[in-house]
Structure 1
């Protein structure tokens, strides 16, 4: 038998014949004519090289070969029925699974603690993983199933990716407490442009770039800053600033969150910087999947609370 050319609809007929023992009853069960069932049985006999049934009075009796495959065929149909059945109602209290979030370590500070608390209370068997956000590879991580969602700055996306706006992230300047050049500047005030450009900066850049949004804003007013180092994680930026006379531009929400922990002072930048829009993206194939849908909702609710205008 060449399985590749076998009409699998014939197996439905075979299953009905096993159950009914009659071409008439099988036809009624399948909403087919008796002649169509008889024709299907003939093709099955040819394909499987076995009579499959012999007539005994008014009933068809399975051959030894057919009897040997009857239970296995029924099990396969049951497995297919379960596979194709609509998903059961999702209950986060009992659901199990892993949800991967591709994002920078900004979200280790601002998302994962409240998400962990929420999951412990409402979905204790679900696991959340924050995985590295690979530069210039956001979409590919979704396509390869390395992540269920990615949290990124707004950008152009292919048609098969869905997006949801989450929050706007303005920028603040951070410096260590006791910085010798900033003693006369009160926290929350705008740093003077000359001071900002004279001091050395540490720049967040996973790619190792020496310029970012702040540099573009400076160029618009004919100024530039001095980038002394780049660091691929925000925690490293904050640590470098806390233990040196370097300063940095970081998202305002992060500055507010970690200032006390790292012993930092926070100031307004001297130039206008358009706040970055942070979005959540995911593959459309998981639009209706119960667990990813529920997890996206939890993540997005927490992230929308970060909008400083909310």
Structure 2
């Protein structure tokens, strides 16, 4: 068979003949004339090099070769029909499936709790898994972590990736309330540059880097800081600050949330730091996947609450 010149419409005729065992009934099923179906059968026989059907009384009986095509052909036609069909709405209450989110543990604190509550109430059959981003190559999380969405700072993306801006996050300084080095400072005010640079820092870095956006911002004003510890999770950063006289730069939303439960004080940084734009990315092949579309919309809505500029 020369597949390049093969008329794929003939596969619909073959499927109908396999189901009906009659050119007349197949024609009715397809909305064609009986001669048209007979002509298509002749073309199929020629192209596939097999009789495909033999007449037995009033019925067409499939050959062994054609009978072996019945199930896989129907499955392929169903798959193509689903592929070309517009996305359908799902009923979250009856939906079943697993959705994997790749992101740092910031999202374990700021996204997963409200998402878990929402899913329990509206989509109890849906399971969500939060997994780590692939170090050094966050976009690879979509393939190597089999993530349905990755939440990460904005960056150049390949053409096969879809993208949605979620929120911007400024950076604030956290310190424990009993830290003697911040005595006399008022929470919410700007931490003096001298204090910020003299104190030792905890740095969030899954890869173990000893410099980040804060260091680049300090370099702009001709200063530097001392990073004493790097930690791969934000929760570890906050715990280290709570139990020591170290300080840390963390996303403003996390600082506000952790200040309550970890008894931390929050200050503005002494140098300008551009807020990080956080985006959600996913493979374009899932653009119209109904369940993925629904969960992505819930994630978009919940994360937009982290930044008034992105809220509805």
What TM-score do you get using the length of structure 2 for normalisation? 0.85
Corresponding residue SS for 1:197 = helix
Conserved? CA contact 2:102–2:130, under 8 Å: yes
Given that 1:170 and 1:251 are in contact with CA atoms closer than 8 Å, whether structure 2 keeps it comes out as yes
The one-character-per-residue Cα deviations of 1:11-51 (angstroms, maximum 9, x if unpaired) are: 6555555635458975996556477246336538x834x68
Aligned counterparts, 1:195-214, within 5 A: 195-214=195-214
Aligned pairs for 1:1-310 within 5 A: 12-17=12-17, 19=20, 21-22=22-23, 30-31=32-33, 33=36, 36-37=39-40, 39-40=42-43, 42-43=45-46, 47-48=49-50, 52-54=53-55, 56=57, 59=58, 61-62=59-60, 66=62, 74-83=70-79, 84-85=81-82, 86=85, 88-144=88-144, 146-309=146-309
Number of aligned positions between the proteins: 302
CA RMSD of aligned residues (A): 3.1
Local SS of the residue matching 2:150: strand
Is 1:99–1:129's contact at 8 Å kept on the other side of the alignment? yes
Inter-CA distance 232–22: structure 2 relative to 1 (3 Å threshold)? closer
Give 1:140 shift: 1.4
CA distance in 2, matches of 1:21, 1:124: 47
> Which structure has the larger Rg over C-alpha atoms?
1
**Contact 1:166-1:300 within 8 A present in 2 as well:** yes
Aligned partners of 1:171 and 1:267: how far apart in 2? 9
Query: 2:102–2:145: 8 Å Cα contact kept in structure 1?
Result: no
Show structure 2 runs of 5+ residues with no match.
none
Matched residue SS, 1:181? helix
Please give the secondary structure, in 1, of the residue aligned with 2:182: coil
- The 1:73/1:134 distance shift into structure 2, 3 A limit, reads closer
Aligned-residue offset at 1:158: 1.1
Q: Which runs of 5+ in 1 are unaligned?
A: none
Contact 2:13 2:41 in 1 (8 A): no
